Amino acid sequence: MPGMVLFGRRWAIASDDLVFPGFFELFLRVLWWIGVLTLYVMHRRKLDCAGGVLLSSYLIVLMVLLAVVICTVSAIVCVSMKGTICNPGPRKSMSKLLYIRLALFLPEMVWASLGAAWVAEGVQCDRTVVNGIVATVVVSWIIIAATVVTIIIVFDPLGGKMAPYSSAGPSHPDSNDSSQLLNGLKTAATSVWETRIKFLCCCIGKDDHTRVAFSSTAELFSTYFSDTDLVPSDIAAGLALLHQQQDNVSNSQEPSEVISHSPGDSQEADLDAELENCHHYMQFAAAAYGWPLYIYRNPFTGLCKIGGDCCRSRTTEYDLVGGDQLNCHFSSILQTTRLQYRDFIHISFHDKVYELPFLVALDHRKEAVVVAVRGTMSLQGIAQAARYIYRRLINDGILSQAFSVAPEYRLVVVGHSLGAGAAALLAIMLRSSYPQVRAYAFSPPRGLLSKSLYEYSKDFIVSLVLGKDVIPRLSVTNLEDLKKRILRVIAHSNKPKYKILLQGCWYELFGGNPDNFPTELDGGDQGDLTQPLLGEQSLLTHWSPAYSSSSDSPLDSPPKYPPLYPPGRIIYLEEEGNSGRFGCWAAARYRARWSHEAEFSKILIGPKMLTDHMPDILMRALDSMVADRAACLSCPGQGVSNTDVV
């Protein structure tokens, strides 16, 4: 539901978000109350000492205060468990209870201060009693400090600006005043998200390029999250419901109902060859990440393998740009690619937001000049990064130098993640000068190319996608679709949020039948509502910049952004079954096939939507699949199976 309004402003917490923190505080308070009661009952006879009356009074009043707090927190938990996300009527008393709860902090702070002062006076009582009271004072201040931290966390800097417009928006969208107001809100939202992102990326430099990237990334986040009247837990509940709904639809589909896009005999014939190429060139894409990824993939032997070369001084026979003073990056690159020192033409560790590290090497096994690009921080910076590398390769004569050594070789450009997007654009830019160029994009972002450029890229670009990887499904249009689906599933949820989150965690961890998690209100349930449900449109501010203002329903209005597509032909490593929900309990099973871009037109929700994007997971999948397919080819009388074990 919309965030609660307290003290005249909206907060980033809803009235049904207090179940779990309330239970946690209740548990601590009850234990604390029992401990204080035990201390008083067992040692009250030892309080006949100088200052003992004060300490006895402190314990008695503290027990009374704790009892009142326990009753108040119990009431908050009970009220927070009522209703559903979009039926806040049963929780209308929550704001009053919170005011009472917050008011109780004043006597708690006063009494904790008095207790600290009395103990500091050096009372001549039994040390066990004094130490117990010191412990109660310390616990009091810890809880008070934790409350202050919680208030800071749930504080929404935009709450005071956005609350009046959360449901209806400006009355005259075309007026100058409304336009200025919306621009002010958008600027404020971008500023808040920029602060949040800078806080999360505190180790990043603060040059002009970085500031531009932070601003563009913050604008993206503010566009998709600041125009919804939802709190973070609402989005988490919506994602949990979407995952169950998605699995329910998938399970109910007959095989004939599944949309299939067969690429034809010619593409099927070279699937094995392209899989082998992907397996080979993924090593170069991984090498571009340097020693951190190598150590992560080889936690027990990595340091031993590259440690000897890290501090060894060498005469540089290749062009080196940027910082690798200890030679650790290059040592990991040698270990990952299995190339020789002399096979490298150029290595750039120069790392800024739009100026990416990349390497140029001679791959004698495939007779190719390989350009491997590392990823970028910003979706908006992919094109700038590709242009930067293009200028370096052409204007600085790097490719000319490489082909002067091996003129018969062909050019291959590779990259992973956002680096795959930069590699694909770089290959398109280089094709006029190098018609035989090939590109292998591993887990590239979807929202990259226009329709015509997507069709053009099929001749020389191959993309590889693993499982439910979110990045190849990430585009402006898909983000809009995901937001609409979240709003709809939340609006039709018939369960309290705490049950949705609990059942969602159980489903993610242990699986289950998605039919057991209904998301539609039955007719009988609606009669029990204490007030009308909040509709879908009430969860989305009508001044949302992502939708057309001419439509009566923002959820049904067409997006203002044109559709964009992933690069080239797509090999999809599709998971079979639900084994290995987190990729560590059981081996996942995949099958490789050519896929159509339409299969990536929606973001899929699941526990592997992030882990399937990790380069080490992708490399392990390719290692096993290529080995198994080779084994099947060598088996007499056996065809190549589409099912491989990872």
pLDDT score recorded for residue 281: 96
Q: What are phi and psi of 577, to 5 degrees?
A: 75, -170
**Distance in angstroms (rounded) separating the CA atoms of residues 80 and 100:** 15
CB count within 10 Å of CB 466 equals 26
- The pLDDT > 70 percentage for the chain reads 68
CA neighbor of 333 nearest in space, from 373, 279, 288: 288
> How far apart are the two ends of the chain, measured CA to CA in Å?
41
pLDDT score recorded for residue 583: 44
Establish whether 469 is a catalytic residue.
yes
Catalytic residue among 332, 417, 463, 493: 417
CA neighbor of 398 nearest in space, from 321, 337, 325, 287: 321
Q: Which residues contact 257 (CB under 8 A, 6 or more apart)?
A: none
pLDDT score recorded for residue 329: 79
What are the C-alpha distances in Å from 396 to residues 118, 346, 388, 390, 423? Answer: 76, 11, 11, 10, 18
pLDDT score recorded for residue 570: 96
Amino acid at 143: I
Establish whether 417 is a catalytic residue.
yes
pLDDT score recorded for residue 411: 97
pTM: 0.75
DSSP 8-state secondary structure symbol assigned to residue 433 = T
pLDDT score recorded for residue 297: 83
Catalytic residue among 469, 493, 538, 595: 469
Which portions of the chain are predicted below pLDDT 70?
A: 1-2, 47, 50-51, 119-124, 157-227, 251-269, 307-327, 353, 376-380, 514-561, 577-587, 631-646
Contact criterion met (CB below 8 Å) for 101 and 76: yes
| Positive or negative: CA dihedral 549, 550, 553, 555 | negative
Per-residue pLDDT reduced to its tens digit, 440-499: 999 999 888 999 999 999 999 999 999 999 889 988 788 888 888 888 888 888 889 999
Contact criterion met (CB below 8 Å) for 585 and 559: no
**Distance in angstroms (rounded) separating the CA atoms of residues 361 and 284:** 9
pLDDT score recorded for residue 444: 94
Q: What is residue 459's three-state secondary structure?
A: coil
